[in-house]
Chain A
Amino acid sequence: DGGITQSPKYLFRKEGQNVTLSCEQNLNHDAMYWYRQDPGQGLRLIYYSQIVNDFQKGDIAEGYSVSREKKESFPLTVTSAQKNPTAFYLCASSPRDSSYNEQFFGPGTRLTVL
């Protein structure tokens, strides 16, 4: 089955610790994205990558970092500099050659800072 997987589904972190969220896709999509979702709010873009070894900051990149060493993988690290990291994190991908920005989402990771 083609799709996007995120792991883990739930993640608990102590304050001051970095944590990495995994996102893998087998859709052969070039572009990948990370969004943050808070209760009652829309999706806010953290980082995106259009091609391997390249990525750009989104609207709320502070306190986050990413890498894109492989086409299939786009891990997100939530660093201790992120002041309010408790949220639901969503990864998405889209085919770069699409005329329209059709994005496909993974199941999400819920991060809780204790």
Chain B
Amino acid sequence: GENVEQHPSTLSVQEGDSAVIKCTYSDSASNYFPWYKQELGKGPQLIIDIRSNVGEKKDQRIAVTLNKTAKHFSLHITETQPEDSAVYFCAASIKGGYQKVTFGTGTKLQVIP
């Protein structure tokens, strides 16, 4: 089955700096890669996703890149703000019908004011 590894497990950055979280996956058939943000005591919220037919996607201060050859994808947050502090999860899934979503173990991001 699919295996998703996520690094780092914790990340501290100064406000205004960039943050990068990296994930690798094992199943070359995976073609959908969502990223979730989970604030303390709440459920994860989808913040951005990327599908295997594109290499990069941006949404304001957030971007995701995908390297299908190397089987890794990354989340980039620029100009970080204190409200970006949360746990971020990457995930991988396969298009079509029901396919299990496999989650990474999460990265706790702390933005220091």
Contacts and interface: CB of A to CB of B under 8 A. Distances in A.
Partners in one complex: yes
Interface of A: 4, 6, 31, 40-43, 45, 48, 50, 58, 90, 92, 96, 99-108, 110
Contacts, number: 61
A79 to B, nearest CB: 23
Contacts of A102: 32, 34, 46, 49
Nearest to A50: B98
Interface of B: 4, 6, 9, 31-32, 34, 36, 41-46, 49, 51, 89, 93-96, 98-101, 103-106
A11 to B, nearest CB: 14
A69 B38 CA distance: 30
* 10 tightest Cβ-Cβ pairs between the two chains A and B: A105-B43, A42-B103, A100-B32, A101-B93, A43-B103, A42-B105, A107-B43, A108-B43, A105-B44, A106-B43
A105 B103 CA distance: 13
B87 to A, nearest CB: 10
A110 B42 CA distance: 10
Contacts of B9: 40
